[in-house]
Amino acid sequence: MTKKLEKEIEEARSTWANVAKQGNWYTEPFYVHVWINSDDEVVDAVSHKGMTKDIIEQDEDEED
């Protein structure tokens, strides 16, 4: 995993952590589900109450 991708994942985590705090469902550790493209860039991210680990997946809808 590149440093750039790690940074993008942490930015997504921070964004979703703020949403969770506002919605009163923030817990630690806080996990995210991110989709990355072939250039190792985050193209989408989400989190939800009850996640038990980070999930990183290749974006299947990416156009060639």
List the structure tokens of 47.
């989190």
Beta pairing, strands 42-46 & 33-36? antiparallel
Read off the pTM: 0.89
Q: Who's near 33: CB < 8 A, 6+ residues apart?
A: 45, 46, 47, 51, 54, 55, 56, 57
pLDDT tens for the chain, 64 residues: list them.
899 999 999 999 999 999 999 999 999 999 999 999 999 999 999 999 999 999 999 998 766 5
**Residue 33 structure tokens:** 């589900």
